[in-house]
Amino acid sequence: MTAASMTTIAAIQMVSTADVAHNIASARRLVAQAASAGATLVSLPEYWPIMGVTEFDKVGCAEQPGDGPIQRCMAQAAREHGIWLIGGTLPLVSGDAAKVMNTTLVYNPDGEAVARYDKIHLFGFNQGREAYDEARTIVPGAQVGSFEAPFGRVGLSVCYDLRFPELYRAMGECALIVVPAAFTHTTGRAHWEVLLRARAIENQCYVLAAAQGGMHQNGRRTFGHSMLVDPWGEVKEVLAEGEGVALGVIDADFLAGVRQSLPALKHRKL
């Protein structure tokens, strides 16, 4: 382990509200906290700008690509702190006026938008009194997303995508996979950590998961547990509930060592 091989990264955990301005102020403060702690790559959680009282509230807040207060907030934060900022997700307009794209935008340290990923897999869950159907308000994406950071390729995914390992294989070899999320407390308690660790182990890379974590105005409880998992599947940092920052380190030497000692990626047949 050498200082040159180390990159500090951070997952922002929020308990977003239905008030976009309030959420923007919270995100600015938490990103600044992460940057002041040395993070050079920071991820926001899914739905960070709005967790509406109804699932349709986000449609009224949808922005055109490249314009709007949510995107300006992210661009300014990346530029001000000189960081790579992965913008969790925000609602962007779609071809259907009644639905949005649930979109991750990535900004470089100059505040330029350099990558976009529209969530492909839309969450559906029905367990009696607890039910969700993202397809009612979201148009699914169609393209796998990634970008090149100084330490290597970063694969982009969102929340429910975590259950579909073929998506991660399609990204190619990544140094880091990010999973901004708003996992429900029910499904998160059962599956969140084990799925994150599985994606890290099978792809032999770091996984950074920035989550919503608490009780929201709409009555939904999200699981939180934002975390960083290393390529051996070890949880290096975790924040259970409430807003805050989960800070950790990518070690390029450790990543290379795992792949050298157990070259599973090279052993793939399919």
Closest CA to 206 of 170, 167, 173: 173
Distance CA 14, CA 35 (A): 16
H or E stretch covering 167: helix 165-169
Q: Please, which contacts does 59-66 make with residues 24 or more away whose CB atoms are closer than 8 Å?
A: 59/91, 59/98, 59/99, 59/100, 59/137, 61/20, 61/91, 62/91, 62/92, 62/93, 62/94, 62/100, 63/90, 63/91, 63/92, 63/93, 64/92, 64/93, 65/92, 65/93, 65/116, 66/113
Determine whether 119 is an active site residue: yes
Residue written as token pair 């509930």: 241
From the candidates 58, 99, 134, 159, which is the catalytic residue?
Answer: 159
Distance CA 238, CA 100 (A): 31
Contact 108, 114 (CB under 8 A): yes
User: Based on the number of CB atoms within 10 Å of its own CB, is 128 exposed (0-12), middle (13-18) or buried (19 or more)?
Assistant: exposed
Distance CA 21, CA 14 (A): 14
Determine whether 236 is an active site residue: no
One-letter amino acid for residue 63 of the chain: E
Determine whether 202 is an active site residue: no
Structure tokens at 171: 């990204």
From the candidates 58, 63, 119, 134, which is the catalytic residue?
Answer: 119
Distance CA 163, CA 191 (A): 9
Q: Report the catalytic residues.
A: 46, 119, 159
